Amino acid sequence: MERSKELFWVLIDIFIGVAVLVALVSGYAVLRQAKSLYPSRNISVAAEGKVVVSPDIATLSFSVVSEGADPAKIQEANNVKINDAINFLKTSGVDSKDIKTAGYNLQPKYTYDEKTRRSYISGYTLTQTVFVKMRDLGKVGVILSGLPARGINEISGLTFSIEDQDKFLNEARAEAFTKAKAKAEAMAKAAGVSIKKVISFNEYGGGYPYPIMYAEKSLGMGGDAVRPATAPVIEPGSQEVTVQVTVIYEIW
């Protein structure tokens, strides 16, 4: 009988110990969860940062398109024109690293013979394309007007863009956070409270501007190109780099 009572109290002690342990662990978990939640007293503000930037790079592609019966002859003629155009770019101040061959495509032209009901090669079309990046925007018009005189009969994809976009994105981001803080301080002052610290923040929207693209310009195909009388006036315009942020502040 005495042994049964002792066993009973031992089990009671074990049960109480386990219950206390479970309560301590649960309480610690609840405390950690509570600390991970936002403070109940907070304000959320949104702001936008914007930087207006003038593009500093112009890019375009140009081609020589030739047709003929002898592929060797049209290759030779095309090479002369392309090489002349590349030399013109270099003498105009374009660095070699900013000139890249973008395509070389020789294709046969097929003609269908009604009598024999068969197709045969009646000639060839050769297209050589070069991609160029221009860092001196003041020379874009001069280059555009000078290429046709060197046999370039297709110019397309004139685009203006910003090379170091991250630099201006960081400037816009800094402005957005400055505006957000000023807005939060004004709201807190009006409400009779004070800002303590940033709880969280998020960036959304905005980002890099799209390149400014000009309409494609074609100067014929396969024939002799005509040199424009004057260089075209090219206006790169400006672009906006924007960043929007949302910031949550703890208040007290």
59-162+214-237 sits in which CATH class? alpha beta
Backbone angles phi, psi at 77, to 5 degrees: -65, -40
**Residue in the block written with tokens 């949302």:** 246
Q: How far, in Å, CA of 210 to CA of 240, rounded?
A: 9
Residue-wise over 41-70: b if at least 16 C-beta within 10 A, else e?
ebbbbebebbbebebebbbbbbbbbbebee
* Chain mean position to CA 88: 31
Q: Name the E strands within 54-209.
A: 57-68, 99-113, 118-134, 154-161, 195-207
Per-residue pLDDT tens, the chain, 252 aa: give them: 555 556 555 556 666 665 656 555 555 554 555 555 555 789 999 999 999 999 999 999 999 999 999 999 999 999 999 999 999 999 999 999 999 999 999 999 999 888 888 998 999 999 999 999 999 999 999 999 999 999 999 999 899 999 888 899 999 999 999 999 999 999 999 999 999 999 999 998 766 676 776 654 444 444 444 445 467 777 788 888 899 999 999 999
Amino acid 25: pLDDT: 55
Amino acid 81: pLDDT: 96
Amino acid 219: pLDDT: 44
Decide if 242 contacts 179 (C-beta within 8 A): no
Amino acid 27: pLDDT: 56
The ranges assigned to domains in the chain are 1-37, 42-52+166-207+244-251, 59-162+214-237
- pTM equals 0.68
